[in-house]
Amino acid sequence: MTDSLQTHVRKYRTLLDHLFALLLYLLPHHLLSWLADWVTRCEWRPLKSLLIRSAIRLYGIDMSLAADPVPENYRSFNAFFTRELAPDARPLEMNENVVLSPVDGAVSQAGFIDADSLIQAKERKYSLSDLLGGDSETTSLFAGGRFLTLYLSPKDYHRIHMPLTGTLKKMTHVPGRLFSVSPSTTRTVPNLFSRNERIINIFETGIGPMAIIMVGAIFVASMETVWAGTITPQSKRQAHWFYSGKSEESLTLERGAELGRFNMGSTVILLFADGTAEWDVRLAPGQLVRMGEGIGLAVT
C-alpha cells in the first residue's frame, strides 16, 4: 500500500470514527440500555434462541469452552452472554507474584499514570481524578502508579476476576453517560472513561492498593459484583459503600476469584500504586489477553 493510499485510508477511518461518535452523542443512551436489558433477559424461547444462535455465528464463539456448551439450555440471552467457563478453560498462572489478567479482552492502553493523567488513546489523555469521581484521597493512592485499560468485545467472556488476592475497602458508583467504548470511540470522544457510568472497586493487596474499575457502555444494561449483586443507583449522585475490615464485614477475594460481571461488553481499568507493579512488555494496544494469564509482576 502506497503512502498516499495509507493517508487516505487513515482520513477515511477518522471520518467514520467522528460520524459514529456524533451519532452516539444524539442517541438516548439509558433508554437504549433499558431496552437491551428487557430484550436480553427475555425468556421467550424463539427470541432468546435466535439471539444466542446469531451471536455464536456472528462472533465465532467456541461453546466447547463453556461450562454448559448447549445453547438451548440458557434461559435468556443474558444468561448465555455471562456464561460460566469450564473449570479448565482458563488456567491461572501459578506464580503468585504474577498479576493476572482479570478478563478476556484486548489491551486498549497500558503505562504509567503521569501525575493526574492517563492515556485514553493516541494523542488523547484524561484525568485520574475525574476517573475516580473527584475523590482526592483515592486519587492520591494511585498518582504516579500504573494503569491498564482492557476492552471486552461482544465475543469475549464477560466475568471479571481478581488479578491478585485483595480485601475490599470501598465501592463507588459514579453515574454518567453510556457511550460505546469501542476502539473507534476511544479515539474520538474526549474523557470517555470519566464520562461513562462506572463502578470503582478499591482493594488492599499484599503490595498495596489496587483499583478495579468497571466502565459501563451503551447496551450494558447493568453491572454486578459478587458481594452486592446488580448495582442499581438510587439517584444521579455518586453512591459509596465502605467496608471496615471487621470480621463480619470483611470480604477477601482470592487471586483468580470472580468479582463481578458485565451484562454486555465494556471496559475494565486496573490501577496500581507507584512502585507496586510492572506490566509485561507485550501489553501494547491491540494485544489480546485471556483471564488468568500473566500480565505483569507484583513488586514486593
Single-letter amino acid code for the residue at 83:
R
Say whether pLDDT at 229 is over 50.
yes
Domain ranges of the chain: 3-81, 98-298
Please tell me the predicted confidence (pLDDT) of residue 248.
Answer: 56
- 158 annotated active-site: no
Grade residue 232 by pLDDT with cuts at 50, 70 and 90.
low
pLDDT above 90: residue 139: yes
Instruction: Indicate the pLDDT class of residue 12, thresholds 50, 70 and 90.
Output: very low
Cα(261)–Cα(107) distance, integer angstroms: 18
**In 3-state terms, what secondary structure has residue 196?**
strand
Active-site annotation holder among 104, 135, 156, 280: 104
Among the listed residues 161, 180, 194, 280, the single catalytic one is 161
- Pair 221, 33: CB distance under 8 Å: yes
If one compares 15 and 68, the residue with the highest pLDDT of the two is 68
Instruction: Give the pLDDT score at 236.
Output: 72
Q: What is the pLDDT of residues 75-119, one digit of tens each?
A: 999 999 999 999 999 999 999 999 999 999 999 999 999 989 999
Bridge partners for 277 per DSSP: 298
In the chain, the percentage of residues whose pLDDT exceeds 70 is 84
Who's near 249: CB < 8 A, 6+ residues apart?
243
Check residue 233 and give its pLDDT: 61
pLDDT of residue 216: 87
**DSSP secondary structure of 199-242:** EEEEEEETTEEEEEEEE--TT---EEETTTEE---SSSS-EEEE
User: Between these two residues, 217 and 18, which has the higher pLDDT value?
Assistant: 217
Q: Is 266 a catalytic residue?
A: yes
Q: Tell me the pTM.
A: 0.88
- CA distance linking residue 135 with residue 254, whole number of Å: 27
Give the residue-averaged pLDDT of 140-163. Answer: 95
Structure confidence at residue 14 (pLDDT):
57
Assess whether 161 carries a catalytic annotation.
yes
Contact of 77 with 42, CB cutoff 8 Å: yes
Average pLDDT over residues 130-156: 95
Cell 476492552, residue located: 151
pLDDT for the residue 185: 81
pLDDT-derived band at 39 (thresholds 50, 70, 90) equals confident
